[in-house]
């Protein structure tokens, strides 16, 4: 049986340990991980701990002709500094790698990597996790019945609410409703939900990103932000009352803004962050601005979790043409947030060995 105490304590250096799950092994996840970790800055900034399979890495090394990628497979329970470490998460009987194919085995293995990363986060083995893309369909099973990574980690770490955020040097954006059908968005929006989600974003911008007094723009739900009720009433009845409540508490929240004109005029540059009402409203402009280096960040969790801003990309899997910029940016951002949380002890970390809870001082 693996010695968790050794894995937690041995050689735990000053730089953070960043877990990286391999995702669907028939997508581009392993390729962008390997390419990212060839950047010499990575091993100076963190200790990478990969969750997946050493044999999967070996297959992609050969397939992609990447000869210089070296790694240490953890067999003694000890994470080594200045090396890429690999935690084998599944029995090799599953391992039939065929890039671009959607298989049940790839979904099972993707889940096992997530489960092991969650266990190691809870036991303090790693300080953060970066998730390579999964297929939201083939990963579904008895132990995984979630819309995506965000919902899975929220469940694992008992977060009442979390917030899907997209981060880049050009734009910080949160989407108020995440992976839900468009016809459910208006039904989901309530004054209480908006206040709760905006508070999560405020706290994350302050304590995870070091913005002491963030200025946040909030987009409207309807065309032209409802045109004073002519094109929809949610702005006047739900969204703007929530904004007013937060402004009365001293927060710099502004809106509602019509989404098309807001991005068309580049007004987002006047704010520290933007909140969209639904997924595509925010992610379309975000990906137009930062497709190559955008990062998905989950706010409101006790743990640090980032992800590249792309999917499995089966159409280019195994062809050695996937761009690793977003994965590399996700690793860098995870390092930065871990450092920021350590430097700024609000919200305060509970002093317990498992480090499972992070107390957010969010206004009710």
Determine the Cα–Cα distance for residues 205 and 269; give it in Å rounded to an integer. Answer: 16
Determine the Cα–Cα distance for residues 149 and 163; give it in Å rounded to an integer. Answer: 12
What are the DSSP calls for 205-260, one per residue? HHHTT--SS-EEEEE-SSGGGGTTTTS-SHIIIIIHHHHHHHHHTT-EEEEEE-HH
- 246 and 189: one domain? yes
Q: What CATH number does residue 190 fall under?
A: 3.40.718.10
Angle of helix 29-36 versus helix 54-64 axis, rounded to 10 = 80
User: 192-220 as b/e, with b when 16 or more CB fall inside 10 Å?
Assistant: eebbbbbbbbbbbbbbbbebeebebbbbb
Determine the Cα–Cα distance for residues 50 and 48; give it in Å rounded to an integer. Answer: 6
- 233 and 338: one domain? no
Determine the Cα–Cα distance for residues 60 and 22; give it in Å rounded to an integer. Answer: 12
Say what the alpha-carbon torsion angle 259, 262, 266, 270 is, to the nearest 10 degrees: -120
CB 116 within 8 A of CB 89: yes
Domain boundary among 292, 320, 355: 292
- 288 and 184: one domain? yes
Domain boundary among 244, 259, 292: 292
- Would you tell me how many other CB atoms lie within 10 Å of the CB of residue 160? 10
How deeply is 140 buried, as exposed, middle or buried, from its count of CB atoms within 10 A (0-12, 13-18, 19+)?
middle
CB 303 within 8 A of CB 128: yes
- 245 and 105: one domain? no
Give pLDDT, residue 94.
58
- 10 and 111: one domain? yes
Determine the Cα–Cα distance for residues 177 and 184; give it in Å rounded to an integer. Answer: 9
CB 221 within 8 A of CB 277: yes
- 143 and 60: one domain? yes
Domain boundary among 292, 310, 337: 292
How far from chain centre, in Å, is Cα 168? 13
CB 23 within 8 A of CB 133: yes
CB 242 within 8 A of CB 189: no
Work out how many domains the chain is built from and give that number.
2
SS3 assignment, position 263? helix
- Of 51, 10, 56, give the one whose Cα is nearest residue 31: 56
The pair of three-digit structure tokens given for residue 142, joined into one six-digit string: 């008895």
What are the DSSP calls for 116-182, one per residue? HHHHHHHTTS-SEEEE----TTTT-SSS--SSSHHHHHHHHTT-S--EEEEE-SS-EEEESS-SS-G
- 147 and 1: one domain? yes
CB 51 within 8 A of CB 116: yes
Total residues found in the chain within this entry: 364
- 122 and 8: one domain? yes
Please report which helix (H) or strand (E) contains residue 48, including its range.
strand 47-52
- 110 and 22: one domain? yes
- 93 and 147: one domain? yes
- 135 and 193: one domain? no
- 28 and 89: one domain? yes
Give pLDDT, residue 159.
87
CB 309 within 8 A of CB 327: no
Q: Has this prediction a pTM greater than 0.85? A: yes
One pLDDT digit (tens) per residue for the chain, 364 residues: 344 444 444 445 689 999 999 999 999 999 999 999 999 999 999 999 999 999 999 999 999 998 888 999 998 778 999 899 999 998 765 568 899 999 999 999 999 999 999 999 999 999 999 999 999 999 999 999 998 898 899 999 988 889 999 999 999 999 999 888 999 999 999 999 999 999 999 999 999 999 999 999 999 999 998 888 888 899 999 999 999 999 999 999 999 999 999 999 999 999 999 999 999 999 999 999 998 889 999 999 999 999 999 999 999 999 999 999 999 999 999 999 999 999 876 445 444 444 433 333 333 3
Determine the Cα–Cα distance for residues 126 and 12; give it in Å rounded to an integer. Answer: 9
Domain limits at 265? 160-292
């Amino acid at each position: 049986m693996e010695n968790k105490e050794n894995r937690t304590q041995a050689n735990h250096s000053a730089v953070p340990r960043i877990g990286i799950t391999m995702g669907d092994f028939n997508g581009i996840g392993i390729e962008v991980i390997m390419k990212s970790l060839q950047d010499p800055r990575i091993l100076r900034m963190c200790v990478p701990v990969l969750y997946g399979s050493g044999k999967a890495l070996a297959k992609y090394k050969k397939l992609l002709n990447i000869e210089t990628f070296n790694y240490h497979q953890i067999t003694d329970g000890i994470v080594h500094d200045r090396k890429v470490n690999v935690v084998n998460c599944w029995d090799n009987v599953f391992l039939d790698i065929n890039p671009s194919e959607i298989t049940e085995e790839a979904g099972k293995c993707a889940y096992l990597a997530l489960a092991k990363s969650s266990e190691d986060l809870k036991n303090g083995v790693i300080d953060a996790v970066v998730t390579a893309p999964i297929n939201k369909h083939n990963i579904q099973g008895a132990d995984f019945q979630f819309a995506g990574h965000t919902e899975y980690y929220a469940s694992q770490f008992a977060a009442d609410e979390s917030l899907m955020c997209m981060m880049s040097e050009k734009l910080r954006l949160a989407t108020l409703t995440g992976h839900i059908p468009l016809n459910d968005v208006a039904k989901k929006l309530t004054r209480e939900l908006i206040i709760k989600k905006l508070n999560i974003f405020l706290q994350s911008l302050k304590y995870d990103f070091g913005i002491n007094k963030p200025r946040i723009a909030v987009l409207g739900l309807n065309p032209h932000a409802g045109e004073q009720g002519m094109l929809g009433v949610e702005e006047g009845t739900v969204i703007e009352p929530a904004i007013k409540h937060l402004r009365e508490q001293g927060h710099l929240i502004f809106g509602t803004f019509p989404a098309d004109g807001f991005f068309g005029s580049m007004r987002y540059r006047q704010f520290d962050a933007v909140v969209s009402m639904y997924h595509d409203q925010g992610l379309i402009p975000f990906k137009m601005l930062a497709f190559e280096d955008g990062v998905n960040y989950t706010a409101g969790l006790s743990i640090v979790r980032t992800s590249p801003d792309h999917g499995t990309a089966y159409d280019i899997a195994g062809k050695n043409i996937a761009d690793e910029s977003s994965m590399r940016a996700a690793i860098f951002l995870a390092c930065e947030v871990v450092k920021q949380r350590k430097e700024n002890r609000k919200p305060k970390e509970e002093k317990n060995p498992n480090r499972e809870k992070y107390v957010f001082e969010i206004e009710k």
